[in-house]
Structure 1
Amino acid sequence: MLQALRVRDFRLLWSANLVSGLGSWLLAIAAPAHVLAATDSLLATGLVVAAEYLPFLLLGPVAGVLADRVDRRKLLVGTDVLRAAAIALLFTADTAPWIVHVAVLIESAATVVFMPAMQAHVPAVVGTGALLSSANALNAVINGTVRLVGGPLGAALLLTAGFPALVAIDVATYLFSAVAIFATRRRDRPDRRGGRESFRAGLQVLREHPLVSALLPATGVFLLANAALSALLVPLGVQRLGGPTATGLVLSALGVGFLLGAPLLRLLVDRMPIRPSLASAQAVTAVGFALLVNVTALPAALIAAVVIGTSGSVVLGASRTVWQRTIPGSALGRVSAVFGIAEAAATLAGAVLGPVLAQVAGLAVAVNTAVLLAVAGAVLTAVVVPPSPAPGRSPA
């Protein structure tokens, strides 16, 4: 799994993502908590989350075109600097709480541009063979680490060091990321001879690859179910598992699952066809969902969370590896943006659907509806994703 770390430039990219990701998760709890303490408004607090996701829907097409049109290395450095400047605005949040929404909005807009550029840049650094699956497994380690450490550490630092200290740390992590990415070597732009760089042309490339196109609905339903359950995790933890502390432990267990899923992702994505591996991982996630929402004992809930994190890591990483290997580099940024837009739309829809259904029909109905959606996602994957040979048997 560590094979991609032999590549110097990937080590720099991986370090940049790890450090900046940890800095962002330090504020994941602290920023909404600061707004709530300053305004005593649930609406204002909820708008912090809205400011985080809205740019993905509005700027996704632009971000995809930029990722395929300009030097990706420069784009990554520039967006990191912009994110550092946006977070620096939070130093004034004590006197103007609304600045949190502005800062998060700008940071999220820069992240929208950063993500497709990074996802398209990684195959250019490590290639599309075994090193790519290693790179995505290592990126899953980042997801698990920041989930495991970032939230609790941010909450602890908020109480001990204060909000400005967290802001300073996050600014520093983005600047570190910019320096690390700048230290990678320059690469030639993808060959665009005879190609077009519009977002619509990128969609046409996507349609030309049925396997990748099928991954959109297959993963979209999964993300919808995941978002609906995530939106209800806090009330679920309070009502059934013992309170906020138990909920925090469940989140940490999810991070442990992501760490465990990283080597499994590498194994599956290089040895199994995508349809059975993706459908199986989604089915296991659905089982984990069912266990989590129907138990009252915390140990059982923690086991369920580990299962969800492990299989969820495989679902997200396997899908990404397939389209990174399949789509030409000249269109990879735009296709990455399409998946980012679909993910944001499914996440927003699930975040609304879950609480609304809980309000109308009750918490038990809402969380078990999320379980059924997860089951439907596994079935949909088995139906719509076309068969493909195992990666080891496919042509070079």
Structure 2
Amino acid sequence: MADPVAAPDRRFRPRLSLAPLRSRGYRLLLVAEATSVFGDAFHAVALPWLVYQLGAGAGQLGLILGGYGLCRLAATPLAGVLIDRVGAWRVMLISDLGRTALTAGVAVAALSGTRDLLVVGVLVAGVGLGAGLFEPAAYAITPSLLPADQLQAGNALHTTATFAAGLAGPGIAGLLVASISPGAAFAVDAVTFAVSACCLALIGVHQRAAPPVIHPERAPGATRWTLVQLLRGSPLLRTVLLVTAVANLTVGGMVRVGLPSLASTELSAGAGGFGGLLAAFTSGSLAGGLLAAGMTGLARRGRAAMISGLVLAAAVTVVPFAGYPGAVVALVVAGISSTVTNVLVITMVQQATPHALLGRVMSAVLFAALGLFPVSVVVAGALVSQYGSQVLFLTTGASLCAAFVFGLSRRAMRQR
């Protein structure tokens, strides 16, 4: 069974491509996602303060965050089925409308002085369900808004915009929480979801008025595949899922457990230093998005993605041994490499997937990336407690290296 992949454009044009911004539908999608991510920062900053204001502690906060994460993870495979049945646009719109109402509920509860932590937990878990539906749909809708030769640049610009929004959001959210209240921050978050929903509604109007973008591999009359057939017949998809799962086995724990431990112990940098390390990675990710937008026309996207992944592995390994300035530089490099790898791999998968299965395939990729997060943080905590954060970074570098060496060894990945 042949792998249903259209022949890639072999011309390499090393320049930043802004061509996707000519598409009205894509511009609306970009604004919707950037606004939503900006609002997510208000949620992330306000929730701990709200929980502590209600008289709860870290244990209860962990339970609420765990509920959010589990609901988000559980909704991811469901999103794939819904996307392929009713369309990515409808799933995204329903998700944003639901999250608008749920987040507004949290804001009302906080501003009214409720002491019921269960209500807050249930509402936050519902927001997690919405996030799990939204994310695969965002990747699934992009190929319908852009021609094939603009898809990589579109993915890269999307990544850049969302990282920029994520970088700007926490500082503003912190000021709002400190000067007014967590409830006010949740209210802003609800407004951002409403703005995103309005943008998505306009995309729907635009799509009904404009002819659809037809990719060669999705043309009428193309072979109809089931997901199982695609997995059996596509070495590329099997490789991507395995590499994604192994690469993310310890990355989540490294960021959530290892990095704060490193900042507070070995680097003696404190909370401010930890924030600087996170900002370094985010800044690198921004730069990586712009770099990936200029890498259109690569003859071998898969090979470039795996080599970039190996650079990520090397940078992660260096972090705990380079001192604070060196760790900042290493994390900038890691951010660049991570984003380039992600953009190239996502673009390959989008172009390799029949339209009727795009939602389920994007959900499978995201599930592979997120599914091991609970394991990752537990393993990271055990490693740091027993051996220190340096061992965790070495383990993460080794798992990343193994994943990308394996990917590079596979012909299906190497020749894309």
1:31-180 correspondence runs (5 A): 31-91=47-107, 92-93=109-110, 94-95=113-114, 96-127=116-147, 129-180=148-199
- Is the alpha carbon distance of 1:71 and 1:283 closer, same or farther for their aligned partners in structure 2, counting shifts above 3 Å? closer
- More divergent stretch after superposition (226-235 vs 271-280): 271-280
1:263 aligns with 2:263: no
- Residue 241 of structure 2 aligns with an amino acid whose one-letter code is L
d(CA) in 2 for partners of 1:22 and 1:347? Answer: 23
- Is the alpha carbon distance of 1:58 and 1:196 closer, same or farther for their aligned partners in structure 2, counting shifts above 3 Å? farther
- Residue 226 of structure 1 aligns with an amino acid whose one-letter code is V
Asked if the contact 1:241–1:247 (Cα under 8 Å) also holds between the matched residues in 2, the reply is no
d(CA) in 1 for partners of 2:155 and 2:356? Answer: 20
- More divergent stretch after superposition (67-76 vs 378-387): 378-387
- Residue 246 of structure 1 aligns with an amino acid whose one-letter code is G
1:269 Cα deviation (Å)?
Answer: 5.5
1:300 aligns with 326
- Is the alpha carbon distance of 1:85 and 1:261 closer, same or farther for their aligned partners in structure 2, counting shifts above 3 Å? same
d(CA) in 1 for partners of 2:332 and 2:202? Answer: 36
d(CA) in 2 for partners of 1:87 and 1:33? Answer: 15
TM-score (norm 2): 0.86
1:1-396 correspondence runs (5 A): 1-91=17-107, 92-93=109-110, 94-95=113-114, 96-127=116-147, 129-184=148-203, 185-187=206-208, 201-231=226-256, 232-239=258-265, 240-268=267-295, 270-297=297-324, 299-384=325-410, 386-387=412-413, 389=415
Asked if the contact 2:157–2:293 (Cα under 8 Å) also holds between the matched residues in 1, the reply is no
Asked if the contact 1:268–1:277 (Cα under 8 Å) also holds between the matched residues in 2, the reply is no
Asked if the contact 1:51–1:101 (Cα under 8 Å) also holds between the matched residues in 2, the reply is yes
Asked if the contact 1:53–1:344 (Cα under 8 Å) also holds between the matched residues in 2, the reply is no
d(CA) in 2 for partners of 1:308 and 1:153? Answer: 26
- Residue 74 of structure 2 aligns with an amino acid whose one-letter code is L
d(CA) in 1 for partners of 2:69 and 2:240? Answer: 21
1:97 Cα deviation (Å)?
Answer: 2.9
- Is the alpha carbon distance of 1:77 and 1:191 closer, same or farther for their aligned partners in structure 2, counting shifts above 3 Å? farther
1:394 aligns with none
Asked if the contact 1:192–1:330 (Cα under 8 Å) also holds between the matched residues in 2, the reply is no
Q: Alpha-carbon deviations, 1:105-161, whole Å to 9, x = none?
A: 11111121222222111101113x221111101111123213322223222221123
Count of aligned pairs between the two proteins: 385
- Identity %, equivalent residues: 26
Asked if the contact 1:16–1:180 (Cα under 8 Å) also holds between the matched residues in 2, the reply is yes
Asked if the contact 1:218–1:384 (Cα under 8 Å) also holds between the matched residues in 2, the reply is no
TM-score (norm 1): 0.90
d(CA) in 1 for partners of 2:296 and 2:404? Answer: 17
d(CA) in 1 for partners of 2:275 and 2:281? Answer: 10
- Residue 55 of structure 1 aligns with an amino acid whose one-letter code is C
2:7 aligns with none
1:166 Cα deviation (Å)?
Answer: 0.8
Asked if the contact 1:3–1:131 (Cα under 8 Å) also holds between the matched residues in 2, the reply is yes
- Is the alpha carbon distance of 1:269 and 1:215 closer, same or farther for their aligned partners in structure 2, counting shifts above 3 Å? farther
1:234 Cα deviation (Å)?
Answer: 1.5
